[in-house]
Amino acid sequence: VVSDKTDFEPAKIQKDQEGHYIMVKGSIQQEELTTLNIHAPNTGTPRFIKQVLRELQRDLDSHTIIVGDFNTPLSILDRSMGQKINKDIQDLNSALNQADLIDIYRTLHPKATEYTFFSAPHSTYSKIDHIIGSKTFLSKCKRIKIITNSISDHSAIKLEPRIKKIT
């Protein structure tokens, strides 16, 4: 989740028994950072993510980024076939909004139709991998892009933060 070229100092690590998430609190250049990496199950995904957010709400703040395979699109642009977003996903988006969290990729690329996952059985593309952060964290983002992967059925999302020059 964090490049090995980055001087990241972990202070707290918490994970669930099923291996669906790991939260690491730490700092980079004396700035707090909490990363929550989620690999959501294939079914009941929006409810699962809302439950994780409820369980960890005391640890999540404006220094938090939530990354990973959510196994669900968050907007109509996240699906190649343009299917509507169901009520569970609408409820998840509402919960993210209430927690002042945004899809950083979608915010910086509001009309992009790039995808992170290809479903061979359905011949469809979707963006089910996400990087979510607070609106205040957005100012710390230099750029974000999807990196196509020909080895896996998922492509990566790379976030480059604005790093202060140490003088």
pLDDT digits (tens, 9 = 90+) for 125-167: 999 999 999 988 888 888 999 998 878 889 999 998 876 655 5
Q: Report the b/e string of 47-75 with b at 16+ CB within 10 A.
A: ebbbebbeebeeebeebbbbbbbbbbbbe
Q: Return d(Cα 160, Cα 166) in angstroms, integer.
A: 17
* pLDDT tens per residue, range 46-104: 999 999 999 998 988 888 999 999 999 999 999 998 788 899 999 999 999 998 999 99
The pTM (predicted TM-score) of the whole model is 0.88
Query: How many Å is the Cα radius of gyration of the chain?
Result: 16
